[in-house]
Amino acid sequence: MMGMMMHRPLRIIDILAHAAEITPQEGIVSVTPEGLHRYTYPDALARAAQLAHALVAQGIVQGDRIATLAWNSHRHFELYFAISGMGAVCHTINPRLSDEQLIYILNHADDRILFLEPEFAPRIASLADQIPAEMTCILLSDTPDQTDTETDITVYETLLSGQPTQYDWPDLPEDTAAALCYTSGTTGVPKGALFSQRSTVLHAMMVPLSQTSSFRAGRRAMPIVPLFHANSWGLPYTAPLMGMTLVMPGAALDGASLWSLMEAEQVYSAWGVPTVWAGLLAEIERRGRPPAGFTDMVVGGAAMPHSLSVAYENHGISVSRCWGMTEMSPVGGRGTPSPDIATLDLDARLAIQTNAGQRCFGVDFKLIGDGGRIVPHDGHSTGELHVRGNTVISGYYNNPSATAAALDAEGWFATGDIASVDPQGRLAIHDRTKDLVKSGGEWISSIDLEDIATAHPGIDSCAVIAVPHPKWDERPVLVAIAATDTPPDLATIQAHMAPHLAKWQLPDDVIYVDTLPLTATGKVSKLALRQQFTDYLLPDLR
């Protein structure tokens, strides 16, 4: 028998309309090239309406892709809501991608308009003959382009001015495409995840159900994770839905800039990748305290070193290690400790809490081992994690071959992560399939080795990479930034790691470097390191 209930389509614009009605005093604090900007959600809704009218005037119709090349700001927030609200697709692009990837993505998505920060105008002008010819560029600014790369380029504030502040938002079918984000392409050409109105609204409601520590109406949340990185983990949707003000940090994401902004704006919860937190910790130690009011930290995108989590917890900040992927909208594992362990002392709690959080409501996990066998959720057996749910992609945008490779016969999405899951849904990520070290037929988890190595006071940060070896195929090598002037030698590091590992799992060498290469999303690039050190353990053939 069918239920007898109304069916109203889930729409993204209703999130902003709700925030404007219920918490009109909350809104957005935004760092822009012109200075600090503040307004409320009713202001944001009125400006989104103006932007939607302007898009119609530009000839945009439902289904068109509109690209952004922008930092976290109130304007980028308006683009999120106005574009999806009128039925077009907001395509966020990572400015740190290579020219080659940028050209590929703009053409693959066939974007109609590109909204860009003034600082990117010269770069786009230099690529003009390789990007879609019909694409209009609009500067996210209130002043005409100072660099004079294009004489008649439109300016965002001019575009909006004079437009009506109300828009009759269409009743779109809830499966309508709303946003598009390409993965960073560390494994080949970038692949597009095309989110719907429905998946986005469900994700916005799902995250605070699980990640409870981060959301308090009237408090302030700061997405340090960019709006172009997997929807900024959904925070631009979840924060207004939960009645929180958003603090948008703009382009400066170094520790000192973040500390000052967080202190001045009383940020309660901030979200970012581990490299950002390492930078902020240095500033906290320099100043002797964290920014006032900073209580809740969400880290994801890569494994957070255990020692870094402990350092923040010791400053009184609750650290939530979450897990997700662009292809999952992106959150799949939440870090708020479950009530049964929340009151344990720090060591006991961290021993139980994993590096990737507990399964969120709405996402199912399945572990697949060798030969397709199902791996039990016993907390130690490992397999490739497969996921299923309303916020997981059912395929890549216009890419049948990548789609076929990513989905199994039952329609589960293969994440490429090697993981274990305990009976309470706690997820531990041991590696990405492509980063595992395969030594003599055995697997060594690079994440586990990194966690142990960074617990040594002489190691600031590090990455363990697989290096080709004539006898064992691959061996682990530790590439590290030293914390002291006289860094620990290999024997010291091995002695430090030995109690936690089998002998054959210990790194063959330690290489000290000044900096570690980062990917476009700010994670340590193991691909770049593997390429750099590919001959390191091979006999000299010259």
Helix, strand or coil, per DSSP, at residue 10: coil
| Of 5-13, 258-266, 300-308, 406-414: span binding ligand ADP (CB under 6 A) | 300-308
Closest to ligand ADP by CB, 131 or 393: 393
**521 lies in the site for ligand ADP, by CB under 6 A:** yes
**210 lies in the site for ligand ADP, by CB under 6 A:** no
- In whole angstroms, the minimum distance from the beta carbon of 82 to ligand ADP comes to 25
Residue 531 corresponds to which amino acid? Answer: Q
Closest to ligand ADP by CB, 290 or 324: 324
**429 lies in the site for ligand ADP, by CB under 6 A:** yes
Please identify which residue in 105, 153, 258, 303 interacts with ligand ADP, judged by CB under 6 A.
303
Q: Which residue is nearest to ligand ADP (CB)?
A: 184
Closest to ligand ADP by CB, 113 or 385: 385
**211 lies in the site for ligand ADP, by CB under 6 A:** no
Distance CA 505, CA 464 (A): 11
DSSP letter, residue 327:
G
| Of 318-326, 345-353, 386-394, 471-479: span binding ligand ADP (CB under 6 A) | 318-326
**193 lies in the site for ligand ADP, by CB under 6 A:** no
Tokens of 285: 């130690």
If residue 124 lies in a helix (H) or strand (E), which one and from where to where?
helix 121-126
| Of 101-109, 247-255, 296-304, 457-465: span binding ligand ADP (CB under 6 A) | 296-304
**238 lies in the site for ligand ADP, by CB under 6 A:** no
Closest to ligand ADP by CB, 139 or 402: 402
CB atoms within 10 A of CB 455: 15
Q: What is the DSSP string of 473-517?
A: EEEEEEEEEESSSS---HHHHHHHHGGGS-GGGS-SEEEE-S---
Distance CA 454, CA 479 (A): 11
Closest to ligand ADP by CB, 188 or 423: 188
Distance CA 160, CA 56 (A): 12
Q: What is the DSSP string of 174-241?
A: TTSEEEEEE---TTSS--EEEEEHHHHHHHHHHHHHH-GGG--TTSEEEE-S-TTSGGGGGHHHHHHH
**309 lies in the site for ligand ADP, by CB under 6 A:** no
- Asked if 70 and 118 count as a contact pair (C-beta separation under 8 A), the reply is no
For this structure, is 183 an active site residue?
A: yes
Distance CA 477, CA 508 (A): 6
- In whole angstroms, the minimum distance from the beta carbon of 272 to ligand ADP comes to 12
**396 lies in the site for ligand ADP, by CB under 6 A:** no
Tokens of 107: 């053409």
Tokens of 465: 């990479």
Please identify which residue in 230, 331, 453, 524 interacts with ligand ADP, judged by CB under 6 A.
230
Closest to ligand ADP by CB, 169 or 312: 312
Closest to ligand ADP by CB, 27 or 274: 274
- Asked if 172 and 87 count as a contact pair (C-beta separation under 8 A), the reply is yes
Closest to ligand ADP by CB, 417 or 448: 417
- In whole angstroms, the minimum distance from the beta carbon of 484 to ligand ADP comes to 27
| Backbone φ/ψ region at 416: left (φ over 0), alpha (ψ -120 to 50), beta | left
- Asked if 211 and 361 count as a contact pair (C-beta separation under 8 A), the reply is no
Rounded (10°) CA dihedral 498, 501, 502, 506: -70
Distance CA 124, CA 102 (A): 10
- Catalytic residue, from 176, 183, 415, 454: name it: 183
| Backbone φ/ψ region at 418: left (φ over 0), alpha (ψ -120 to 50), beta | beta
For this structure, is 484 an active site residue?
A: no
| Of 235-243, 320-328, 376-384, 474-482: span binding ligand ADP (CB under 6 A) | 320-328
* Count of chain residues binding ligand ADP (CB under 6 A): 23
| Of 61-69, 77-85, 163-171, 179-187: span binding ligand ADP (CB under 6 A) | 179-187
For this structure, is 443 an active site residue?
A: yes
**355 lies in the site for ligand ADP, by CB under 6 A:** yes
| Of 109-117, 344-352, 366-374, 412-420: span binding ligand ADP (CB under 6 A) | 412-420
Interface residues for ligand ADP in 321-350 (CB under 6 A)? 321, 323-326, 330
Catalytic residue list? 183, 327, 438, 443
Give me the residues that bind ligand ADP (CB under 6 A), please. Answer: 183-184, 186, 230, 300-303, 321, 323-326, 330, 355-356, 415-417, 429, 432, 521, 523
